């Protein structure tokens, strides 16, 4: 699994091949991105990156088996599923076809690949043989290739630069991850960051869930200061928690807010560790943070003696939702 994460610099470049295949002859009113789990988070990332670059259309991320009521033929619906066989995502695709939306599919395989040819839907293939959460860079850069046709948000150069940056920092990221994992061992992580990095915080949580098989909690500032903060007036088992502070050192005001949250938690007996984001721009920082989270969750899986690859409970859930929806 570790080796798969080490392949991220190559994934960033590989995905650029898909950019040459993208054709889009419409100017959509809204972009709706549908996907679940490791594929769904790709929509959150793409939206955050697009808005960091001044993208001027609404982007809605749907992690459900039904589309919002307003979605119609004026909208572009992009469905992403690494396996191509996730029931919720397939349902959204079928609904998009019924509503005559412009559609796009990103998958490596599966039912959606078949449906693409049956319905003449443009299809962008990502590499087989990975697991969805590890395919983040390839799915993300592929998706950005579609958004670029609406308004350019990233150049090939930026993807190349990020690939070099990640490659050069691989060893340092793995070492830092090992340290963070040691701090988190036998604790329930509270991942704390601010709104701009919320998708990364959710991604960190998901990685800890799926690879290390532990629960964790996400808190986002400034919203944190309007409810969760009160929960610490009556802290239950403070020793069980450990704060993971996701910080962009260049963002002074928000770093000050995180310092305040850290101060408050430490007063209640909760210790914390920082996860500082490195990189020249937002894209590099979230790829860096995601890789650091990936390696942290793998190191934590090693400490717990669990297999990071296997996700039995997801398979169980997929059986249940399939029988409910079909």
Q: Judged by CB under 6 A, does residue 142 bind ligand F6R?
A: no
Of 44, 210, 219, 284, the one binding ligand F6R by CB under 6 A: 210
Residues 6+ apart with CB under 8 A from 227: none
Rounded Cα gap, residues 233 and 124, in angstroms? 50
Q: Judged by CB under 6 A, does residue 290 bind ligand F6R?
A: no
Could you give the string, one character per residue 5-44, with x where binding to ligand F6R holds by CB under 6 A and - elsewhere?
Answer: -------------------------------xxxx-----
Verify whether residue 318 is a known catalytic residue: yes
Q: Judged by CB under 6 A, does residue 131 bind ligand F6R?
A: yes
Beta carbon of residue 210, minimum distance to ligand F6R (angstroms, whole number): 6
Question: Is the Cβ of residue 86 or residue 290 nearer to ligand F6R in the bound state?
Answer: 86
Residues 6+ apart with CB under 8 A from 256: none
Of 135, 127, 137, residue with least CA distance to 284: 137
Q: Rounded to 10 degrees, what is the CA torsion of 299, 183, 286, 290? A: 20
Q: Judged by CB under 6 A, does residue 216 bind ligand F6R?
A: no
Contact 156, 183 (CB under 8 A): no
Verify whether residue 226 is a known catalytic residue: yes
Beta carbon of residue 237, minimum distance to ligand F6R (angstroms, whole number): 29
Residue given tokens 């979605």 in the structure block: 71
Q: Judged by CB under 6 A, does residue 288 bind ligand F6R?
A: no
The catalytic position among 138, 158, 174, 210 is 210
Residues 6+ apart with CB under 8 A from 316: none
Instruction: Give the number of residues in contact with ligand F6R, rule: CB under 6 A.
Output: 15
Catalytically active residues, by annotation: 210, 226, 318
């Amino acid at each position: 699994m570790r080796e798969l994460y080490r392949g991220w610099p190559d994934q960033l470049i590989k995905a650029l091949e898909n950019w040459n295949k993208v054709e889009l002859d419409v100017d959509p009113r809204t972009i709706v991105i549908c996907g679940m789990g490791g594929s769904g988070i790709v929509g959150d990332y793409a939206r955050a990156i697009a808005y960091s670059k001044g993208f001027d259309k609404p982007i809605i991320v749907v992690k459900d088996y039904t589309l919002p009521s307003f979605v119609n033929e004026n909208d572009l619906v992009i469905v992403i599923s690494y396996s191509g066989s996730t029931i919720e995502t397939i349902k959204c695709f079928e609904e998009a076809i019924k509503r005559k939306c412009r559609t796009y599919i990103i998958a490596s395989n599966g039912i959606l690949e078949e449906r693409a040819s049956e319905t003449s839907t443009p299809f962008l293939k990502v590499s087989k043989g990975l697991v969805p959460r590890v395919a983040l860079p390839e799915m993300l850069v592929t998706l950005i290739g579609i958004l670029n046709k609406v308004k350019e948000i990233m150049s090939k150069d930026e993807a190349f630069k990020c690939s070099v940056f990640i490659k050069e920092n691989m060893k340092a990221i793995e070492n830092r991850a090992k340290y963070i994992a040691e701090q988190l061992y036998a604790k329930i992580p509270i991942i704390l960051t601010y709104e701009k990095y919320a998708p990364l915080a959710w991604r960190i949580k998901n990685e800890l869930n799926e690879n290390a098989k532990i629960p964790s909690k996400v808190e986002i500032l400034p919203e944190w200061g309007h409810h969760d903060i009160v929960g610490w007036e009556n802290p239950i088992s403070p020793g069980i928690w450990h704060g993971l502070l996701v910080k962009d050192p260049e963002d002074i005001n928000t770093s000050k807010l995180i310092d305040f949250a850290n101060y408050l938690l430490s007063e209640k007996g909760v210790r914390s560790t920082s996860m500082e984001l490195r990189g020249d721009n937002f894209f590099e920082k979230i790829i860096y943070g995601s890789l650091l989270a990936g390696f942290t969750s793998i190191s934590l899986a090693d400490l717990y003696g669990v297999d990071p690859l296997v996700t039995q409970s997801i398979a169980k859930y997929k059986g249940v939702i399939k029988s409910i929806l079909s």
